[in-house]
Structure 1
């Protein structure tokens, strides 16, 4: 009997060993990994408050632009290179003469309320843009008034232009509005309509609640994208300015900061759980020089003085000190990442000796020994005007300091909201500005002769050949021909140097480490930071990873 018990124990023990060995072998072949899971609320602090959640009305408010980017779609959208790609339109074709565009619309799109999207919505939006009292920005409305829009069938729209305009596709990225909701609303009531608070769009998110304190957006279950966002919701919290955001993060009120201005970098870098994402933007810093002020700043009319001012700037040092490294040294009026950029145009690097030589050649010499160059009793002295933005102030002061080494006296003038008016009326000597050119690289609005009084040619550069090249490039549909025209324009710009191009702007976004898979590609607008939001996640779940098999040659997953 005792022998029988020993055999039973031995058999049981052997069974346990065999089962254990099997489980161990199974575990070696199968393990678990974490993968993204649905859920989690991403909270972000932004500076400002929403006013009009209507794509036609968002141009002057960044918070409105942020929200509209999540709620609406245009026929097209601009990618990281500033080129149009399909959005509500599945495709389009352009006639060889550039006068006719045929857009084919997606047929799987519904508005967030369930109604179908079609060509009637597109034509309705265009009609609002074309209306005499359109609330859209004047330049946008003016362009669309020159375009004839026709419905070919429920999912095909034709646009006819009066003259070729290669940048036309940029203007098709504006969000489309729902005809079935806004038809019949007097156009003058659009800015105050309830739609501005609870809009209905076709985008990946929709408004669940909104107040003067925050907005909660939830995924749109009817969005045409195959992939729904992992996040349960996005909540934007509104603050008076960016200075409030670090404290809000420290107190646990938000997980992200919509933008980290350079002046906040010293404070932000102390948060070790805050990931910083930086990317170049379509904006750049420059100094406008008033070339038409004969009384106060006639010295700017001498190209040797203009070039000396640029040669006398260590722009990398400006970026490092005034902008905490958040910039990229720039040369010329077209961004270096653009297809229109001419890399063979010689740059003008920091060269203090060359700067001094140019001023000496122009007979600007410190004759009276007061530390400021002068000529015929007139000092080389001017006022540099800037906005009240802390980064602009720091940059302006750094410019003045570097020019002092050239014996050029500069006084910094800080303006509030009056800077735009002073630029428009040419009431300045030199002005520091940050300019954004999204999408097509066409620099016509900034440098053509016709734009001195009605555009952004604030310095009054009046060059016949440069204007001819810009006008011709606007009418040419062939990209290679446009590229050649813009290359010639950039050479003239470098020779004349009507303004001082300083640096490309860099956008920095801060998000807590608990939010994963955040990516920041080059931005056309700050709202583009949400371009990959469908991939962001906060929650995870475990799945079993099957052993690499001969059948699949890779990893198999089972929940």
Structure 2
């Protein structure tokens, strides 16, 4: 995914006020290199166990830093071995045999072995599991600890994405004795462990001195995560030196000013952050595909990206990013056409439009996007009322769990997560047999060409039916002290992996 704006165009948008705020060219004296780092995040996680709850902020703190998985995803999006050194797959794709790393211990001193891995996977797929991705293991028939270093996983049908799914934060390995308390006292096999968590302010990680993987031991002694929701405050924290890095900077209108300040490195990277305006397909008038299609045709995606995210971002026509395998550009399906949208509403029985409410998380991108959608939908007679909704707690309760909403907006951050539209009772309330069949084919086919064709079909079905308004992919607007090395430039999975981070001398 390439950012559609040139550097010159971005610089042209920077206001004098922004430049003054950021203090460009102040020539301030830089601090000496350190062995710790302060990382800013917009959202504070509600807990620290990614195996029991969905919000991505959890993994952004603990994945790879505190917890590790059998496999991992690297900064380029590739699957790499981790607690599983290697694996073999039977010719029919039904049996995975993992050769596990030896001499691995959790931060509390308990050894990791095949029994621990079996426990972790069985806990993830248990009937009473609250794991947000438990459906990934729905095809698992059995797990077997053949010996301390050999784990065997047997499937009922092939799972082409299994090694990818096992690399997600939701699939990390947990120590059985600490599983019940990982939400506040996480215990993992990673290079850091929890130091202190001052809820509402900051969380500190300290080096795990007994970390098993000496070859990949961290260069930092510790890290502090600061939770700063307001974009202007994020800029101020960077400017003052209170924060060393914002891997996901939340003020795109100020970003061009940061690009001209040689104290900072700025990187516009790609992400999996698909901004969609979810529609409750269970309720009238949103249960009518003509209404949903009309809403999509009322949206000028290019103008929305410009207004909501200062032009940074790529419009999308389905729940898929240009980074994903088999991507199809479907923005021409139900393209911007207010006149046709009004005619379609009239055909559906709403010649005078109707009223909707949109539950909007407090993140700046969501608020700005909702305000622009409000103006655009008004052009076709739809009155949109914005309802601010605290994220994650209130949003998860009202939208994700109880489906108490008409419309909402959120960035779905997980990679290759198009299958969420096929989940029973998911918040969209979308149920289409053709879509489910396409996803099943994509996830079970061992033939790559057939697999990508099935993903293409799934994209096209969503673009046609519009269970959500597909808006744009957010970029990773990274900004950090220019002397810092090792932070991810792209974001193939939501993460703040600190394992390779250091300061230049």
Q: TM-score range by the shorter chain?
A: 0.7 to 0.9
1:230 to 215, 219, 229: 219
Q: 1:521: Cα distance to partner?
A: 2.2
2:426 to 448, 452, 455: 455
CA distance in 2, matches of 1:276, 1:442: 28
CA distance in 1, matches of 2:280, 2:142: 39
Match of 1:278 in 2: 268
CA distance in 2, matches of 1:288, 1:154: 46
2:235 to 246, 255, 258: 246
Structure 2 counterparts to residues 19-34 of structure 1, below 5 A: none
1:467 to 422, 431, 436: 436
CA distance in 2, matches of 1:423, 1:71: 27
Match of 1:410 in 2: 383
- In structure 2, relative to structure 1, the CA distance for the partners of 1:263 and 1:381 (3 Å cut) is farther
Q: 1:158: Cα distance to partner?
A: 0.1
Match of 1:379 in 2: 352
CA distance in 2, matches of 1:430, 1:54: 29
- In structure 2, relative to structure 1, the CA distance for the partners of 1:382 and 1:426 (3 Å cut) is farther
Q: 1:39: Cα distance to partner?
A: 5.1
- In structure 2, relative to structure 1, the CA distance for the partners of 1:68 and 1:361 (3 Å cut) is closer
1:538 equivalent in alignment to 2:498: no
Deviations 1:304-333 (A, max 9, x none): x54444344321221111122332111223
Match of 1:74 in 2: 69
1:317 equivalent in alignment to 2:303: yes
Match of 1:161 in 2: 155
2:410 to 425, 429, 433: 433
Q: 1:290: Cα distance to partner?
A: 4.3
1:445 to 417, 420, 429: 420
Match of 1:328 in 2: 314
| 8 A Cα contact 1:119 1:157, kept in partner | yes
| 8 A Cα contact 1:206 1:220, kept in partner | no
Q: 1:285: Cα distance to partner?
A: 1.5
CA distance in 1, matches of 2:222, 2:335: 49
- In structure 2, relative to structure 1, the CA distance for the partners of 1:495 and 1:68 (3 Å cut) is closer
Match of 2:373 in 1: 399
CA distance in 1, matches of 2:101, 2:182: 29
CA distance in 2, matches of 1:498, 1:52: 30
* SS at structure 1 position matched to 2:272: strand
- In structure 2, relative to structure 1, the CA distance for the partners of 1:347 and 1:125 (3 Å cut) is same
| 8 A Cα contact 2:77 2:493, kept in partner | yes
CA distance in 1, matches of 2:432, 2:58: 38
CA distance in 2, matches of 1:175, 1:377: 49
1:176 equivalent in alignment to 2:173: yes
Structure 2 runs not aligned, ≥5 long: 1-31
CA distance in 2, matches of 1:53, 1:285: 25
Match of 1:356 in 2: 339
Deviations 1:172-230 (A, max 9, x none): 23222345xx2xx6x6x5357xxx43x55332334455555441422646442525443
- Return structure 1 stretches of 4+ with deviation > 6 angstroms: none
Larger radius of gyration: 1
Q: 423-432 or 276-285: which moved more?
A: 423-432
Q: 1:425: Cα distance to partner?
A: 5.2
- In structure 2, relative to structure 1, the CA distance for the partners of 1:223 and 1:235 (3 Å cut) is farther
**TM-score, normalised on structure 2?**
0.77
Q: 1:66: Cα distance to partner?
A: 1.0
CA distance in 2, matches of 1:427, 1:116: 44
Match of 1:499 in 2: 468
Q: 1:239: Cα distance to partner?
A: 5.1
Deviations 1:452-493 (A, max 9, x none): xx224x1x4443333332333333333322222222333333
Deviations 1:78-135 (A, max 9, x none): 245655321111111222333221111123645456665432331232344355655x
**TM-score, normalised on structure 1?**
0.71
1:515 equivalent in alignment to 2:484: yes
| 8 A Cα contact 1:285 1:434, kept in partner | yes
Q: 1:150: Cα distance to partner?
A: 0.7
* SS at structure 1 position matched to 2:270: strand
- In structure 2, relative to structure 1, the CA distance for the partners of 1:131 and 1:423 (3 Å cut) is closer
- In structure 2, relative to structure 1, the CA distance for the partners of 1:156 and 1:434 (3 Å cut) is same
- In structure 2, relative to structure 1, the CA distance for the partners of 1:282 and 1:311 (3 Å cut) is same
Deviations 1:22-74 (A, max 9, x none): xxxxxxxxxxxxxxx99532222335656654453464472564134312210
* SS at structure 1 position matched to 2:215: coil
CA distance in 2, matches of 1:314, 1:381: 20
- In structure 2, relative to structure 1, the CA distance for the partners of 1:152 and 1:489 (3 Å cut) is same
User: Across the two proteins, how many residue pairs are aligned to each other?
Assistant: 463
Match of 1:347 in 2: 332
Match of 1:10 in 2: none
